[in-house]
């Protein structure tokens, strides 16, 4: 009923109450605009009386019905992240039959409303909530919640041109607020640009970049407030933890507003959302006919299923044998030698003579022309230990003068009395204590 209705004086606007559209939006019925449209259509009633205006202030939802169903008390708000792929509409249904985001959401989720909209070709982070008030609060430009995008565009642009967007720009009579844009990198004729804005008007990023002479080929939303896309898989859904959501809403209504709430350092943890197995549609298993020709007629391109393949006989497992007792191996060797001597043909004995007879060589011929004995090469006499090196000096140096390989690979030999110590002249060794190097003491 209208607050000016004389039949309901207790429904007069009160300072402590809230409008019915706000209360229904908080209960998760729909957004404020949708609730106002529902009130105009006469779908909302209070104690059986249909409302005709949304200007109704209530302290609670007691007695409020929507389409004849009683509205339950408001439940705590829930916030979800959804990685929207390109090619999906951010709407509940499309008259043209194009796919929407709700066709990719798993079953078993509560009724979710998207926070803002992403174009058909835009992908990335899309927040979805059960609370219409939170949805409206995040969408309002006056709140100042930051949104970050990464755009791949074709064309040439400089960082100075992007910095001019901090002052705002007016395009075709539409004024766009401050945009923090940075040139991320260049890949050939394309450039990657990172943009952060707070308004989120319709096709704002694409129109601003087209105003600079760029053609956007890909647009990804990477952040909405403190909630980031990260490495979230495409078309995946998870839920923001209730503790992080409470901290965010407190900061959103605090002194810093949306700027302080967007710079929050949350835990970053989220709860995975699994599809409800009971609500998920289950397709009946296809039954194939037993006849192979009939299976080919119905278009079975794969090989035969496991049900039609003959069962493979399983081989018996070999029994593990323990260690043999002492003398068993020797007894087996004697038994094998006796069997070989009794039946040599079974073991391949004498086959070499038969092959030689086919080639014309017989044992008698081999005896007449014996093979010459093997002549071994003469061995070098071993060097005696302690014998001095007798090669000339020139030959000794030419042998080990290439790359010091032989010198490094030669084994070390002990010092002999006739060897010259390093640092002394060639010739007879002087007596001890008269000339020559001083005696070395123990190492310190």
SS3 for 390-424 is CCCHHHHHHHCCCCCHHHHHCCCCCCCCCCCCCCC
In this structure, the number of other CB atoms found within 10 A of the CB of residue 39 comes to: 22
Residue 112, classified by CB atoms within 10 Å of its CB into exposed (0-12), middle (13-18) or buried (19+), is: buried
CA atoms within 13 A on the CB side of 296: 3
Active-site residue, from 47, 67, 94, 119: 119
User: 235 to each of 78, 88, 188, how far by Cα in Å?
Assistant: 19, 10, 30
Q: In the annotation, is 47 catalytic?
A: no
Beta carbons within 8 Å of 233's beta carbon, 6+ residues apart: 83
- Residue 432: φ, ψ to 5°: -65, 135
Cα–Cα distance measured from residue 71 to residue 68, given in angstroms and rounded to the nearest whole number:
9
Pull the structure tokens for residue 49. Answer: 């009386």
**Biggest distance spanned by C-alpha atoms of the chain:** 144
* Cβ neighbours around 186 below 10 Å, total: 11
Long-range contacts of 59-65 (CB under 8 A, 24+ apart): 59/14, 59/16, 59/17, 59/18, 60/23, 61/23, 61/24, 61/27, 64/20, 64/23, 64/24
Return phi, psi of residue 152, to 5°: -105, 120
Letter string b/e over residues 349-376, b meaning 16 or more CB atoms within 10 A of that residue's CB: eeeeeeeeeeeeeeeeeeeeeeeeeeee
Give catalytic residue positions: 119
């Amino acid at each position: 009923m209208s607050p000016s209705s004389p039949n309901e004086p207790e429904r007069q606007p009160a300072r402590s109450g809230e409008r019915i559209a706000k209360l229904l939006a908080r209960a998760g019925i729909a957004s404020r605009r949708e609730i106002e449209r529902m009130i105009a259509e006469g779908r909302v009633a209070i104690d059986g009386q249909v409302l005709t205006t949304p200007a109704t202030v209530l302290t609670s939802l007691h007695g409020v019905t929507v389409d004849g169903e009683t509205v339950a008390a408001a439940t705590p708000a829930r916030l979800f992240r959804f990685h929207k792929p390109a090619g999906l509409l951010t709407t509940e249904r499309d008259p043209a039959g194009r796919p929407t985001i709700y066709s990719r959401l798993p079953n078993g989720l509560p009724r979710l409303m998207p926070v803002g909209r992403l174009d058909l070709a835009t992908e990335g982070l899309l927040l979805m909530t059960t609370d219409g008030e939170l949805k409206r609060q995040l969408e309002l430009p006056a709140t100042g919640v930051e949104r970050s995008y990464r755009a791949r565009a074709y064309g040439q642009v400089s960082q100075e041109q992007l910095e001019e967007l901090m002052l705002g720009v007016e395009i075709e009579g539409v004024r766009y607020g401050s945009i923090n844009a940075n040139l991320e990198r260049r890949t050939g004729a394309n450039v990657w640009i990172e943009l952060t804005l707070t308004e989120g008007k319709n096709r704002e990023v694409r129109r601003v970049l087209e105003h600079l002479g760029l053609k956007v080929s890909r647009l990804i939303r990477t952040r909405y407030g403190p909630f980031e896309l990260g490495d979230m898989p495409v078309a995946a859904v998870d839920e923001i933890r209730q503790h992080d959501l409470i901290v965010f809403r407190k900061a959103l209504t605090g002194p810093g507003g949306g700027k302080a709430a967007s710079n929050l350092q949350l835990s970053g943890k989220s709860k995975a959302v699994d599809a409800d197995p009971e609500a998920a549609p289950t397709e009946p298993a296809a039954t194939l006919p037993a006849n192979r020709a009939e299976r080919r007629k119905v278009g079975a391109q794969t090989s035969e299923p496991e049900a039609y393949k003959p069962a493979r006989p399983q081989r018996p497992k070999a029994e593990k044998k323990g260690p043999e007792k002492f003398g068993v191996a020797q007894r087996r060797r004697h038994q094998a030698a006796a069997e070989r001597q009794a039946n040599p043909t079974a073991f391949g004995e004498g086959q070499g003579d038969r092959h030689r007879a086919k080639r014309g060589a017989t044992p008698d011929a081999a005896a007449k022309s014996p093979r010459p004995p093997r002549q071994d090469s003469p061995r070098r006499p071993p060097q005696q230990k302690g014998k001095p090196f007798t090669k000339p000096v020139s030959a000794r140096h030419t042998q080990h003068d290439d790359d010091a390989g032989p010198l490094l690979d030669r084994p070390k030999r002990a010092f002999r009395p006739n060897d010259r110590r390093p640092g002394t002249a060639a010739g007879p060794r002087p007596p001890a204590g008269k000339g020559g190097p001083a005696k070395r003491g123990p190492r310190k």
